[in-house]
Structure 1
Amino acid sequence: MAPVAMRSVAKSLSEAKPVSYWLDDPGKPPAEPTLTANERCDLLVIGAGYSGLWTALIAKERDPGRDVVLIESKEAGWAASGRNGGFCAASLTHGLANGIARWPDELAKLEEMGARNLDEIEAAVARYGIDCDFERTGEIDVATEPHQVEELRELHEEARRLGLADGSEWLDRDALRAEVDSPTFLAGLWDRDGVAMLNPARLAWGLKRACLELGVRIYENTRGLKISSAGSGMTVQTPYGVIAARRVALGTNIFPSLVKRIRPFTVPVYDYALMTEPLSPEQLEAIGWKRRQGLGDSANQFHYFRITPDHRILWGGYDAIYPYRGKLDSEYDHRPETYLKLAEHFFTAFPQLEGLRFSHAWGGAIDTCSRFSAFFGTAHSGKVAYASGYTGLGVGATRFGAEVMLDLLDGVRSERTRLEMVRSKPMPFPPEPFAWTGITLTKWSLARADTHGGRRNLWLRTLDRFGLGFDS
């Protein structure tokens, strides 16, 4: 990009607030009190992101008499649940291709259960009056390179062969650009029904309100420090008190688990996003995008983007930063060099929007595991359950994970707990510095594949052979 153009790109970021657009909302609810005394309950849920909020809510729906306490180290929805792109997908397997590769024998069941899970989310949003701009728009996977066109076409044909293509539509270049106009778009595959767009922070806050209305006792700014068995139940130490619980559900995801043996199964990845100012009527006309689908390109280092009801564009992804030795630190929440790269890519995709400015720029950590989709289990003789490893698709899949955790804690043998996906674990990551070295090499290889017609080098082919890898 020419120097003058690069200066223009940098200028587009000059007024961007370093905070998630979703969390920068005057409607944010006040925090619930901190726990300052000992507590007792039937079920203790740790973490008030989507995973914990759905678990607490569904626990009360299943048994209104169950005494449920939910604790959160900061405030509900402050981390990944309030910083993501707002793509609520039906997929439980991080996309159809990953599901075909890992669970071919139960893929049809996983797809059906994922669709049902998304329907249940939509029903809960309506039932509890959650104002989160839920729209069943679908998502378009976009090819921006010739090899991606063929890869998407092959995926569509495979889905049709498996009887899983209902609701998906192939879009050639002209049909795609009639939906959203970018000179970089070559073809697309539109999943019309399997993805909803929503306001992620308002979903979290609405779930919090629903939990309170059902009688869940929520304590914010209350961190769980240590977990221990205590007879037939568990105790969890917090800064100002101890909670005694019959059962515990861990919804802490990327944050270090209180069950230490599951920590090697996940690593943190920092993801970044920009939000534009509202587009003018002329700018909207220039790009089309009247149906507000979510979009994502098909590169290994991919972008995800969507348009909001107030005509802003969220543009995120591409850089996925693994901090040295997997250290979680708020220092990584902002990365100006990534913001500049994202802005440059945005104006390459939409040159007709030159002069548009970004109002917000932010980042945050998500958890990933070696199979890219959630894993589940129990500890302390079945008194503790966990779900983790959602790899960026937790907006929808966490509700399914909540159901799994409750099934495991209640000792229920269900269609969920019988799944191989639920009964198996991903390969753990090696100790440092080997994890950092391997992930760095994988990221380099993925970026190289993007610029070499999708060809995967020996390192990536070896990871494929063992069912491992790293998703950008």
Structure 2
Amino acid sequence: MTRIDRILADASPTPYWTERTPPSGEPEPLVGRDRADLAVVGGGFTGLWAAILAKEEEPSRDVVVLEAGRVGAGASGRNGGFVSDSLTHGLAHGTAMWPEELEDLVRLGRENVAAIASFVTREGIEADLRLCGKTVVATRPHEVAALESSYETHLRHGEDVTLLDADEVRRDVDSPTYLAGMRVRSGGGLVDPGQLLRGLLAAARRRGVRVHERSAVTGLARHADGVTVTTGVGELVAGHVVVATNAFPPLLRRIRAYTVPVWDHVIATEPLSSAQLAEIGWSENQGLTDSGNQFHYYRRTPDDRILFGGYDAIYYYGGRTAAALAQRDSSHRLLVEHLYETFPTLAGIGVSHRWAGIIDTSTRFTPVFGTAYAGRLAYAVGYTGLGVASSRFGAQVALDLLARRRTERTRLAAVTGRPVPFPPEPLRYPAVQLTRHQLAREDETGRRPAFLRVLDRFGVGFNS
């Protein structure tokens, strides 16, 4: 057993956020037959925002949330806590996909994050929300030029951004791997997703939302009064339904072609000492990402651990989402190796937590919206890793669609359009693996392979 294997053997196989903020109270499954005006399937960020916004629109509306496990057990409680105002998976991708409406998408994304911050303050949610932006770093020579181009794009769209050379970026956060950096002070920041989930759950309940955990939905059927939602031991007849299951097997066949579940792995270190922090710097305590297609994201936690994730995204044949897949030794070992390469002064530091979450990826890297059952059901899935903030926007779109409201949101091509579908198995798995191989090749060479250029022409989102 190697040193890294021994370090990982001592790590808790649970998300850091869950251990920091465990679920409170006993779950109350849906039992027997019930009715509601609105059923929300999924108790993550999208589902909770949908429930809260529905009650704020119409306080008398009877809203029920059905969650298969505990609230936030999926991706909402397993991410890095990065808050982004982008609705287009970055400005470059938005420019490539929706140039004519990008100005509106940027504005709506900023308004969305501002509304989240206002809500958190108004509700007294202590979620360590800090709109501190982030730093993007270049670790390969060809990434420096790409970062300079990204800097110009950010300037054109009014972002508060500074381009940094190697010495400047290392004066802020010291890593020998950094060749350049781009400090973005606008556009989002960081949050404790576990605390945010708890705060949203409490806010929903204060508004009268009924929440049934341990109530996995097994079926949907059209009903004279709306939609019948079936669980293992219960049945709910709802006038309308929002499906917010994201990466988990969709209840609607039509969604299956548009998203795939990709496992994203994360580690958290033991708390850093004051001396270790002094060696690294990181005085602004912002989040960091690097510039590759296969990129890392990392941040300090509220108790000064380093949360370090990303890079090795894994798709399993058939889109498997079994909980046991959250532990993958090779992926976690690779993250530890990369952490030590990024911060050599931390080589040998212990790892306290190791886990994975499932990203609901669409081919265009942005959410997919739609309706079913004669407009009685709406869905918002496919956030591709940026759902911490954009899930609120997705919930708004779903409610607009249910109410048949023609709003600024529902007129967007980014909302009305459909991504290129993924091929079915057995073609899906090799297609995903080939794409991953080509993205890694571009990272190494700095040259766009012909295969990816073809995908770009079809609007597939690997140019973000």
Q: Is the 8 A contact 2:21 2:194 kept in 1?
A: no
Counterpart in 1 of 2:73?
78
Q: 2:449 aligns with which of 457, 465, 472?
A: 457
C-alpha displacement at 1:91, in angstroms?
0.5
| Corresponding residue for residue 188 of structure 2 | 195
Deviates more, 1:185-194 or 1:437-446: 185-194
- Match runs of 1:56-135 below 5 Å: 56-135=51-130
Quick check: 1:166 aligned with 2:159? yes
1:26 to partner: Cα distance: 5.6
TM-score with structure 1 length normalisation?
0.96
Q: Shift in Å at residue 10 of structure 1? A: 3.5
Determine helix, strand or coil for the equivalent of 2:353: strand
Question: Alpha carbons of 1:17 and 1:446: their partners in 2 closer, same or farther (altered >3 Å)?
Answer: same
C-alpha displacement of 1:413: 1.1
Match of 1:426 among 397, 419, 425: 419
**Pairwise CA RMSD:** 1.5
Name the CA shift for 1:304/1:249 in 2 (closer, same or farther; >3 Å).
same
Distance, in Å, in 2 between the alignment partners of 1:241 and 1:308 is 40
Alignment of 1:217-232 (within 5 A): 217-232=210-225
Structure 1 residues 321 and 27: alpha-carbon distance in aligned structure 2, compared to 1, 3 A threshold: closer
Answering whether residue 136 of structure 2 is matched by residue 141 of structure 1, we say yes
SS at match of 1:105: coil
Q: Where in structure 1 do 4 or more consecutive aligned residues deviate above 6 Å? A: none
**Aligned with 2:14: secondary structure?**
coil
Q: For residues 21-420 of structure 1, what are the structure 2 equivalents within 5 Å?
A: 21-25=16-20, 27-160=22-155, 163-420=156-413
Matched residue type, 1:157? E
Asked if 1 retains the 8 angstrom alpha-carbon contact of 2:247 and 2:261, the reply is yes
3-state SS of 2:124 partner: coil
2:225·2:238 contact (CA, 8 Å) conserved in 1?
no
Over 3 Å counting, the alpha-carbon distance change for 1:464 and 1:471 in structure 2 is closer
Counterpart contact for 2:36–2:239, Cα < 8 Å: yes
User: Which range is displaced more, 298-307 or 232-241?
Assistant: 232-241
Structure 2 unaligned regions, length at least 5: none
SS in 2 for 1:28: coil
Contact 2:31 2:235 in 1 (8 A): no
Q: Distance in 2 between matches of 1:364 and 1:218?
A: 23
TM-score (norm 2): 0.97
The match for 1:3 is: none
CA distance, structure 2, for counterparts of residue 212 and residue 72 of structure 1:
14
Which consecutive residues of structure 1, in runs of 5 or more, have no partner in the other structure? 1-5
Contact 2:456 2:462 in 1 (8 A): no
Displacement of 1:229 in angstroms is 1.3
Instruction: Report the CA distance between 1:186 and its aligned residue.
Output: 1.1
Q: CA deviation at 1:73?
A: 0.7
- Given that residues 460 and 469 in structure 1 are in contact (C-alpha distance below 8 angstroms), is that contact kept between their aligned partners in structure 2? no
Q: Report the identity percentage.
A: 47
Distance in 2 between the 1:361 and 1:166 partners?
34
Q: Which one-letter code corresponds to 1:70 in the other structure?
A: V
Q: Which amino acid aligns with 1:466?
A: F
Deviation at 1:232, TM superposition (A): 4.1
Matched to 2:457, the amino acid is R
Give distance in 1, aligned partners of 2:2 and 2:73.
33
CA contact (8 A) 1:332 1:364 kept: no
Provide the C-alpha distance between the structure 1 equivalents of 2:463 and 2:381, rounded to a whole number of angstroms. Answer: 16
Contact 1:372 1:471 in 2 (8 A): no
Query: Displacement, 1:380?
Result: 1.1
Maintained 8 Å contact 1:88/1:197 = yes
- What's the CA shift string for 1:71-107, capped at 9, x where partnerless? 1011100111111000011011111111111011111
